[in-house]
Amino acid sequence: MTNALGAEDSSIRLQAALAVGSNPDPVFLETLVERCAVEPDFFVRDMLSWALTRLPPEVTLPRIRQELDSERPRARSQALHTLSKIGDRSTWAWITRDMLRDADDEVARTAWRVAVVLVPEDEEKGLAADLVLQLGRGGRDVQLSLSRALVDLGDVIEPSLERAAGSSDPAVAAHARATELLRLNPETGFDAALDEAKRVVALGPERAAAAAAVSADTETPETAEPAETTEPMVAAKAAEAWEGADC
């Protein structure tokens, strides 16, 4: 079974992880943890984490705790992912600020997600304040992950987002405003929310509102397209927004 978990064929590794999880035995703990740190296939890694959740928590958690301090980013990321699967809230204290700010994007993204799952209610405001410090970080996927984490915290994020929206850093301000748009309307696509937020930041809130008002005023009955033409366009745009919704 150990050889199968390290086989060249990913389908063999997947079946091996499924077999170990279906017949949980602590003897495989070390092999599963070590394999998590080097497994290149996402689906196999997810199955390895599932197999670890099948073992008694008192056996698994201490070993996973060690992996959180690993020098290997994938080991840290997968250990955090496994914690989210186990869902033991007593492990909240293991999610440090250093993890939330990890230089490796994948580790940080996983830490954000796990923190939101494990955070006690009375610590949500503090977590929101820590996560807001990462606004503007990385590319689209990283920013989307952070926005999702913040939105999942609920209304508690509103004051922190409001402060961040006034940042002198345009990237931070736009990301904050986009996240607030998603909080108010989760069906909004992330890209659309970010584009709108960037427009507001570039023009300033007052000028952006004025521009929107002028645009609305110019849409007179004489210039508007007939209803039978515009309705399909509106429906198509709505479908595009739904298909592109990231949060």
What's the token pair of residue 177? Answer: 């405003």
Each residue of 31-80: pLDDT tens digit? 999 999 999 999 999 999 999 999 999 999 999 999 999 999 999 999 99
Distance CA 143, CA 152 (A): 14
219 within domain boundaries: no
State the total domains in the chain.
Answer: 2
At residue 140, the pLDDT reads 95
At residue 205, the pLDDT reads 62
136 within domain boundaries: no
Contacts of 107 (CB under 8 A, 6+ apart): 73, 76, 77, 80, 99
At residue 218, the pLDDT reads 53
Do 74 and 162 sit in the same domain of this protein?
Answer: no
* DSSP line for 94-162: G--HHHHT-SSHHHHHHHHHHHHHH--GGGHHHHHHHHHTTTT-SSHHHHHHHHHHHHHHGGGGHHHHH
Nearest to 119 by CA among 147, 72, 156: 156
pLDDT at 102 over 50: yes
Do 11 and 83 sit in the same domain of this protein?
Answer: yes
The residue whose two tokens read 């298909």 is: 243
Distance CA 76, CA 45 (A): 13
pLDDT at 214 over 70: no
At residue 64, the pLDDT reads 96
At residue 112, the pLDDT reads 97
Last residue of a domain, one of 68, 100, 115: 115
Do 82 and 25 sit in the same domain of this protein?
Answer: yes
pTM exceeds 0.85: no
121 within domain boundaries: no
124 within domain boundaries: no
pLDDT at 232 over 80: no
At residue 36, the pLDDT reads 95
16 pLDDT tier (thresholds 50, 70, 90):
very high
208 within domain boundaries: yes
At residue 92, the pLDDT reads 95
Mean pLDDT, the chain, rounded, equals 86
Report long-range pairs for 91-95 (Cβ below 8 Å, ≥24 apart). 91/61, 91/65, 91/118, 92/118, 92/119, 92/120, 92/123, 94/65, 94/68
Nearest to 149 by CA among 178, 169, 179: 179
pLDDT at 11 over 90: yes
208 pLDDT tier (thresholds 50, 70, 90):
low
Last residue of a domain, one of 97, 115, 133: 115
Each residue of 106-130: pLDDT tens digit? 999 999 999 999 999 999 999 999 9
Distance CA 52, CA 237 (A): 44
At residue 188, the pLDDT reads 85
At residue 219, the pLDDT reads 53
101 within domain boundaries: yes
187 pLDDT tier (thresholds 50, 70, 90):
confident
Mean pLDDT confidence for 8-16:
96
At residue 235, the pLDDT reads 42
26 within domain boundaries: yes
Each residue of 117-169: pLDDT tens digit? 999 999 999 999 999 999 999 999 999 999 999 999 999 999 999 999 999 99
Q: What is the CATH number of the domain that holds 7?
A: 1.25.10.10
Last residue of a domain, one of 72, 100, 115: 115
Find the domain containing 77 and state its range.
1-115
At residue 238, the pLDDT reads 42
178 within domain boundaries: yes
At residue 203, the pLDDT reads 83
